[in-house]
Structure 1
Amino acid sequence: MFTGIVKDVGQVKAVDEGRGDLRFTIQTALDLSQIKIGASVSCDGCCLTVVDIGDDWFSVDASKETLNKTILDEWTTCSRINLEPSLTMGEELGGHLVSGHVYGVLTIKAIKREGDSHRIVFDIPEGFEHLIAPKGSIALNGISLTVNDVTDADFGVNIIPHTWMNTNMSSLQVGDEMNFEIDMLARYVARIMGKI
């Protein structure tokens, strides 16, 4: 479980192929003394298991299923990755509850500067129209964000300067893809109502 508050932007140092899986080694400024092999780390919003660890790096494996449903298959050496260790009891819940179970990818339709902030617009994927609501929560590349506005076709989020500079958002362009996770509460309500 995560909060959607990015703790570091790491960098992919190596990509190794297995039998359909990929192993990523990520350099980070996170305090790795608190992270053990087997721990979960949100990497661009994907809950991945630490399989190896060093002083300033850790490695995670991504299965074929994960590679098919996320942007991880686009990661290369030097890719910048939003990182968040798993939530521990007693920690501040600064964003919203994020599971790290990515639903798919969204393509950036527009990026507009609005004052010091940036507004990013995405098309709503088919079948998700009823799960994205104004002032609701969504996680994009592991970042907890508030949906600002929704039309029948698209939705927008506002990125404040702090988030823009302290995540990998500042390196994104129109046409780039981002992992998305719908708010957990919205998913369960939709399931109860028979919409999923």
Structure 2
Amino acid sequence: MFTGIIEATAIIEKIERSGENINFILSCPFTQELKIDQSLAHNGCCLTVVRITDENYSVTAIAETLEKTNLGQWNVGTEVNLERCLKFDGRLDGHIVQGHVDKTGIVQKIEDRDGSFFITITYDETDDFTTVPQGSITVNGISLTVAESGFGQFSVAIIPYTWEFTNMKNLQSGDLVNLEFDIIGKYVTKLMKKNAVL
């Protein structure tokens, strides 16, 4: 379980293909603190550390993960948002994030609003996934508040700190981003669908 508060960013150092899977070798500021079999959210996607060598560590993305996320578009040099799993002796500063990407969205517009950035993202809306104003959404692993919400799209406002210390600053119109919708909203939506059938 995660909070959507990014600790640091990692850099993709090497990419190795193994059948349908991809092994990513990354470096980050806390590589030496990691352990084999540890869960680590990469752009909001929970991956398991499988190897640690000097300043690098490795994770494996299987075909299903590659289909549902933007990991297949990563290249050597790509900057990735990182978060280690939640410790229950601390504060929950973001919102409850599982590290399970629901789907990808497409960045439509990035507006510089003189000190903050307003980003509009579209996605394929279904009965299972929706957003509401002032609700929570995770974009590339970052816990954000929905500023505006419409059918199949939403906007978020990014403060300068988040812009500078995550990979948000690298986004451009047309980029694919990982989305995890609010877990409480997903349960409510499912219950409402069940009740409508009864």
Gaps in structure 2 of 5+ consecutive residues? none
Greater Cα offset, 70-79 or 87-96 = 87-96
Residue 4 (structure 1) aligns with: 4
SS in 2 for 1:49: strand
Distance in 2 separating the partners of 1:21 and 1:79: 18
1:81 aligns with 2:80: yes
CA-based RMSD of the aligned residues comes to: 1.5
Query: What's the TM-score once normalised by structure 2's chain length?
Result: 0.93
How many pairs does the alignment contain?
A: 194
Instruction: Give the aligned residue type for 1:179.
Output: N
Normalised by the length of structure 1, the TM-score is 0.94
CA distance in 1, matches of 2:124, 2:10: 28
**Do the aligned residues in 1 keep the contact of 2:123 with 2:153 (CA within 8 Å)?**
yes
Q: Which residue of 2 aligns with 1:59?
A: 58
Deviations 1:51-92 (A, max 9, x none): 001343211000000001110000111000000111112122
Query: For the residues of structure 2 that align with 1:65 and 1:129, how far apart are their CA atoms?
Result: 19
**Counterpart position of 1:41:** 40
Q: Which amino acid aligns with 1:106?
A: G
Structure 1 CA distance for aligned equivalents of residues 2 and 177 of structure 2: 18
Match of 1:20 in 2: 20
- Aligned-partner Cα distance in 2 for 1:148–1:20: 38
- The alignment-based identity, stated in percent, is 39
Render the CA deviation track for 1:110-148: whole Å, top value 9, x for unaligned.
000112000000124221686200000000000000000
| Alpha-carbon separation, structure 2, partners of 1:130 and 1:69 | 14
- Separation in 1, partners of 2:81, 2:152: 27
For residues 54 and 5 of structure 1, the distance between their equivalents in structure 2, rounded to whole angstroms, comes to: 26
